[in-house]
Structure 1
C-alpha cells in the first residue's frame, strides 16, 4: 500500500456545487410559486401541475447528484437538461398563445441551474452546448425570436460560458498548488531521510572504508566497495531525486500528496535514470529542477549514457574517472560524458565499425538519431574523450504527438 499523506483540503469546486444545490431548490420553489399565482390563467392547468410535481420530485431526489463532480455524471446532466427542455416545450400546452409571448416558461429560471451544472462539471465548452440547447428550445416555444427572449438567452449563454471558463482556470490553479505541495512534502521527506542516512549508514560505510584500507588484504577490497557505495548513496541523497506523485485528487476530495511510483506513461525525470550511474569514479552534475522527458526518450538517452560509460570502463581502464553533465537548455537537452582516459586514436572508430564493433555507431549515435538528436564524439589522444548528446525539445514533442496518434 503506498503511503498517503493528506496535506490540506483546498477544493475550489465544492462551494460551487453547494451553491448550485441551493440554487436548484430555491428556483424550483420559485417556479412552483409562480405557477400557483397563474393557475387560473392556464388553459390546461393539469399539464402545469403534472410538470411541477415532476420538477419537485426530480429536484429533491437529485440533490446528492449535485454534491460533487464525481456524483454529477454525464448521464445525469443529460437527464437534468431534458427535464428543463421538456418544461420549456410543454409551456404552449399549458398556457395560452397570447400569454406565451410575454410570460415565463414552466421551469422559469430553474433552467439556468441545469446549464450551470454543465459549466461546473465540464467547463465552458459543455456550458456552451447546454445553453445553446436551451436557446433553441426557447425559440421553438416562443415561435419567433422576440427581443426579450433573445436578451435572456444571450445572458444565460454568456454567463454560463464565463462561469465554465472560471472553473477551468480554478482547476488549473488548484493543480499547480497541489503540485507545489507535493514537491514540498517530498523535499521534507528527503531531508529527513538524508539526516537519518548521514547519521547512520554513511558513517558506517566511511568507517568500513577507513578500517579496510588500514587492514589491507581482502579487507582493503571490502573497504573500497564500501567507499563506492558511500559515494553513490551520498550522490543519491544530495540529488533529491525522490519520486513525487503528480496526482491531485478531484475537487470532491481536495488535493492530496501521495508518495507513489511514477506511472508507466507520461514524462519522467531524466535525473532519476542517470543517478544509478554515479559512483566512486563517476560524478554526476545535474540541474536543481527536474529534467522531464517522455519516458521512452528518457530511457533511450540514459541508455546512450550507459553505453558511453561502458566504453570508458572498457577502453580507458578501471582507474579512469568519468563525469556526467546534464544541461536543460531552453531549446534542447544536452548530456555530456567526459573521461580522463588515454583518448581514442585517430581512425579507431572507423576501424571498429569495419570490424563489426558498432557500440558507438548503434548504441550511442543510433539512439540519438532515432530521437531526432545528435551525438558528437571529441577525443584527443592523451587527454580523454568527450561524448556530447543533444536532443531538441521540439523533436521530442513531435515524437510524443506521433506516438499518441498511433
Structure 2
C-alpha cells in the first residue's frame, strides 16, 4: 500500500512537459539570436535590436528553473514571458527597415513566441493557449500594420498547435488523476481484505455468538445481544466490499438481475446487502467465486428462504446466513429462530399446491446440480442448507468419456 501511494504521489505526467517547455525556450532563443545575427545588417537600429536580444536571452536563462516545474511556474511568470515576446514583435517595426517589414521578414523573437504559448498550454490547457496564441497573432498584425495572408496563416498554425498541445495536456492530467484514484482504490481494497481475514474468524464470530446467547438468555442479556448484533452489522459493512446493509428480509432482486451470467461472481457481493438488524450474514474474508448463473440462482434461493422466514416466522424473527467455501462446493445455510414446523408439513404444502420451497429453493438448486436440505422442528426454528458443487473442468470430463 505504501509503495503504491508513493508511486501515485511522486509520478507526474506533467513534469516531462515542463522540462520540454524549458528546453524549447532555450532552443528557440538560440535560433532567434542566430537568425537576427544574419539579418542585423538590414536593421536601421541594430544596437537597439541587439539590446532587446540581450534582454530576451538574460530573461530566458534566468528563468530556466521557474519554467522547468509546475510548482515554480505560475500565471505571472507566463504573462511576463508573453509580454516580453510581444514587445519584441512590436519593436521589430521600429528597429527594422520598413521595406523588410512590408516584405514579411521575421520578427526579433521569431519562433521564441511559440515557446510562450507552449507554457500556457502546459499550465492551463487549450483555452489559455488559444488566448496566448491570439495575443501573439494580434501583435504580428500590429507589426505588419495590416492583415495579410501570411499573418493569418501563422496565427492559425500557432493557435492550432497551442490548442492541440493544451488538449493533450488536459487528457494526460485527467488520466493521471484516474490512475492515482485507481491505485488508492486498489490499496484500500487490499487493506480491507486483510482486515476481513483478520477480523472474520475472531471479532465477528464473537459478536454473533453474543447476539445469539443474549437472545436465548433474555432480560438484560437480550439488550446486550442486540447491541452486539448492531455492532457486528456495522463492522461487517465496513469491511465487506463497501456494500450497505439492507434492513429488511427482501432479497436484492434488482442486483440479482444485474449479474452477468457469463462472468464469475463473488457470492458475498450478493448476500452481504441482506444484512440488517434481524439478519446476520457470515462469509469468508476472501472472495467466494461462482459462475454468474450459479451465483444468481443461489442468491435467489437465499432470498426465497428469507421470504419464508418473513411470512412464517414473523417480522421479529432473527435469521442467520452462513456462507462456507469448501473445496468441492459452496454451502449457504439460512437459519431462523422462528416457531418451526413438523417434518411432514413440507409434503402437505406440495400436495396443497404451494410450491415455494420445492420450486423457488429446491428447484433452483437441482438445476445447478446441487441440493437443498430443510430441517425444522416445532419450537426449534428452521434451517435451510443450500449446496452448489464446483464445476468440473470440461477437459477432465472429456478424458473420462
Measured against the shorter chain, the TM-score band is 0.5 to 0.7
1:231 corresponding residue in structure 2: 233
SS at the partner of 2:195?
Answer: helix
Change (3 A) 1:321 1:136: farther
What is the CA–CA distance in structure 2 between the aligned matches of 1:282 and 1:214, rounded to whole Å? 16
Q: Deviations over 1:12-44 (max 9, x none)?
A: 222211111101001111111222223333211
2:376 corresponding residue in structure 1: none
**Corresponding residue to 1:154 among 150, 153, 156:** 156
1:72-91 residue pairs with structure 2 within 5 A?
72-91=73-92
Matching of residue 138 in structure 1 with residue 140 in structure 2: yes
1:256 corresponding residue in structure 2: none
Change (3 A) 1:283 1:223: closer
Change (3 A) 1:48 1:174: same
Change (3 A) 1:241 1:47: farther
SS at the partner of 1:69?
Answer: coil
1:185 corresponding residue in structure 2: 187
Deviation at 1:106, TM superposition (A): 0.6
What is the CA–CA distance in structure 2 between the aligned matches of 1:174 and 1:48, rounded to whole Å? 44
What is the CA–CA distance in structure 2 between the aligned matches of 1:213 and 1:135, rounded to whole Å? 82
Change (3 A) 1:129 1:227: closer
Matching of residue 110 in structure 1 with residue 112 in structure 2: yes
What is the CA–CA distance in structure 2 between the aligned matches of 1:215 and 1:279, rounded to whole Å? 21
* Structure 2 unpaired stretches of 5+: 245-271, 282-313, 320-401
1:232-247 residue pairs with structure 2 within 5 A?
232-240=234-242
1:165 corresponding residue in structure 2: 167
What is the CA–CA distance in structure 2 between the aligned matches of 1:282 and 1:85, rounded to whole Å? 73
Please, what TM-score do these two structures have when normalized by structure 1? 0.56
Bigger CA radius of gyration: 2
Q: Deviations over 1:317-372 (max 9, x none)?
A: 993789xxxxxxxxxxxxxxxxxxxxxxxxxxxxxxxxxxxxxxxxxxxxxxxxxx
What is the CA–CA distance in structure 2 between the aligned matches of 1:10 and 1:43, rounded to whole Å? 51
1:30 corresponding residue in structure 2: 31
SS at the partner of 2:240?
Answer: helix
Deviation at 1:223, TM superposition (A): 3.9
Q: Deviations over 1:171-221 (max 9, x none)?
A: 222222222222222211211121222133213323444565676665455
What is the CA–CA distance in structure 2 between the aligned matches of 1:282 and 1:96, rounded to whole Å? 91
Contact 2:88 2:109 in 1 (8 A): yes
1:70 corresponding residue in structure 2: 71
Q: Deviations over 1:284-330 (max 9, x none)?
A: 9xxxxxxxxxxxxxxxxxxxxxxxxxxxxxxxx993789xxxxxxxx
Deviation at 1:104, TM superposition (A): 1.1
Matching of residue 49 in structure 1 with residue 55 in structure 2: no
Change (3 A) 1:281 1:111: same
Change (3 A) 1:95 1:222: same
Contact 2:214 2:221 in 1 (8 A): yes
SS at the partner of 1:31?
Answer: helix
What is the CA–CA distance in structure 1 between the aligned matches of 2:135 and 2:215, rounded to whole Å? 82
Change (3 A) 1:196 1:102: same
Change (3 A) 1:181 1:241: farther
1:174 corresponding residue in structure 2: 176
Please, what TM-score do these two structures have when normalized by structure 2? 0.57
SS at the partner of 1:108?
Answer: coil
What is the CA–CA distance in structure 2 between the aligned matches of 1:55 and 1:217, rounded to whole Å? 88
Deviation at 1:125, TM superposition (A): 1.1
What is the CA–CA distance in structure 2 between the aligned matches of 1:208 and 1:69, rounded to whole Å? 57
Contact 1:47 1:93 in 2 (8 A): no
Deviation at 1:130, TM superposition (A): 0.7
Count residues with an aligned counterpart: 255
SS at the partner of 1:43?
Answer: coil
2:15 corresponding residue in structure 1: 14
1:319 corresponding residue in structure 2: 316
Contact 1:190 1:240 in 2 (8 A): no
* Structure 1 unpaired stretches of 5+: 243-274, 285-316, 323-406
1:59 corresponding residue in structure 2: 60
Contact 2:22 2:68 in 1 (8 A): yes
Deviation at 1:58, TM superposition (A): 0.8
What is the CA–CA distance in structure 2 between the aligned matches of 1:191 and 1:97, rounded to whole Å? 76
1:211-230 residue pairs with structure 2 within 5 A?
218-219=220-221, 221-230=223-232
What is the CA–CA distance in structure 1 between the aligned matches of 2:118 and 2:195, rounded to whole Å? 48
Contact 2:237 2:243 in 1 (8 A): no
What is the CA–CA distance in structure 1 between the aligned matches of 2:42 and 2:180, rounded to whole Å? 56
